[in-house]
Structure 1
Amino acid sequence: MIRVALLILSLCCTLSHAELLVTQATVRLLPPGVPNTAAYFTIENNSQHAEFLVGAKANFVAKAEIHNHIHHNGMMKMQQQSEVKIEAGQTLHFAPGGLHIMLFGLKQPLSENQVLDLSVQTKSGKNIRFKADVKSPSIHKHHH
């Protein structure tokens, strides 16, 4: 009986992770010696309720944070986000000039087409893991 309950619980958790789908994930390749970079991706909320992203992790950097570019007093600046809401059925684009994952303190140099593991965390405790390809900045496109 306990095994059946654990199986059902694990299936529920697996299905709930599939409700948030990350695609088109990339990490910006910058010149050697630049210690920080950014990750971009598209995330779809296929669930029936809003989800909130509250954090990010990547084992190839010292720290990862959710950031957004904002206009303040006529200037563009980055600002850390404590949470980002994704409405039910909504797709968000993390792209240059907007939402992105800021990656601080690279532990090793990156190379073109390298594949890296990242994750984002939700307020409800879900950890959504995904892979991102390292790409030169010219590959990135703005989404509006």
Structure 2
Amino acid sequence: MRFLPALILLLGFTSPLVAAAPLVLKQGEVRLPMPGRTVTAGYFTAENSASHEVELVKASSPAFARVELHQHIRQDDVMRMVEVESISLEPGATLVFQPGGLHLMLFEPQVELRLGDSVRVSLYFADGSSQDFELPLAEMPRR
């Protein structure tokens, strides 16, 4: 019991330093690269559970040499993929990374990728915080 005041004091000092994760992952996947290719895409749906706007500025994964935030845009009547610098989400907003829209581009696998395994993807925010997700590896859909 004599340690209780010290514990309460310690928790009081540390609790503001522990921020709740702003995004709640609803679903997601990283697709296996097509045979002979070293680039693939990642998709997910997440909700901003924070009480403030969050700004996603970067992504990375230890399973890939590079990860970029991308978006499809129409330019001169042609759909193109372009890298985006940031994505802002209002409180309660849902972020959808999907084919034909926002997505992750993942370059040069650094590990063997197998169907059913998962890869860690880290998302970085403008306030300096980050959040990790485990995304399952899925087959590229047949066309």
For residues 111 and 137 of structure 1, what CA distance do their matches in structure 2 show? 12
Q: Is the 8 A contact 1:54 1:123 kept in 2?
A: yes
| Native 8 Å contact 1:32 1:109 kept in 2 | no
Q: What is the identity, as a one-letter code, of the residue corresponding to 1:127?
A: S
* Aligned-pair CA distance for 1:136: 1.2
Superposed CA offset, 1:39-59 (max 9, x none): 100110122221110000101
Correspondence for 2:49: 46
Distance 1:109 1:72 in 2: 36
Q: Which runs of 4+ in 1 moved over 2 A?
A: 1-7, 30-33
2:28 corresponds, among 25, 37, 41, to: 25
Who is 2:3 aligned against?
Answer: none
Identity %: 31
Matches within 5 A, 1:102-141: 102-138=105-141
Say how many residue pairs are matched. 135
Aligned to 1:142: none
Distance 2:36 2:12 in 1: 51
CA RMSD of aligned residues (A): 1.8
Q: Distance in 1 between matches of 2:63 and 2:50?
A: 30
Structure 1 position 61, deviation (Å):
0.9
CA distance in 2 between counterparts of 1:103 and 1:77 reads 17
TM-score, normalization: structure 1? Answer: 0.85
Rg comparison, structure with higher value: 2
Structure with higher helix content: 1
Gaps of 5+ in 2: 1-5
Structure 1 equivalent of residue 14 of structure 2: 7
Contact 2:50–2:92, Cα closer than 8 Å, also in 1: yes
Partner of 1:85: 88
Q: Distance in 2 between matches of 1:84 and 1:92?
A: 9
